[in-house]
């Protein structure tokens, strides 16, 4: 990650791409296929990725844990989009909790 790109910028950019895919629903897009499957299918993916994240943490494999956490965050962003919940609401909630 470059010094000019913060973590929140990356996640925000990803959320924007997911939102655009939701609008465009391009053929062959993984995001579009998740969205077309309904929230239950996306929720199952979130649960699957959460389990894989926990397993990677238990095994102590830092690289695998990072990869699984990225998958979990990605699928959670898709679920938020699918349910019309702006990712910014999550960031605001986290900011409020920090106080």
Q: Which residue has the tokens 């925000």?
A: 12
Residues 15, 81 contacting (CB under 8 angstroms):
yes
90, containing H or E segment: helix 87-98
Round to whole Å and give the CA distance between 66 and 99: 27
Q: What pLDDT is recorded for position 6?
A: 73
Q: Which residue has the tokens 């391009």?
A: 26
Domain 8-86 has CATH 3.40.50.300: no
DSSP label of 15: H
**What pTM does this model have?**
0.89
The full set of domain ranges for the chain reads 8-86
Low-confidence ranges of the chain (pLDDT < 50): 1, 3
């Amino acid at each position: 990650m470059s010094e000019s790109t913060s973590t929140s910028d990356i996640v925000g950019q990803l959320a924007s791409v997911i939102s655009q895919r939701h609008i465009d629903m391009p053929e062959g897009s993984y995001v579009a296929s998740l969205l077309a499957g309904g929230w239950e299918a996306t929720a199952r993916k979130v649960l699957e990725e959460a389990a894989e994240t926990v397993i990677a943490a238990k095994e102590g494999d830092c690289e695998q844990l990072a990869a699984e956490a990225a998958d979990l965050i990605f699928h959670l962003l898709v679920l938020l989009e699918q349910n019309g919940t702006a990712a910014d609401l999550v960031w605001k909630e986290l900011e409020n909790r920090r106080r």
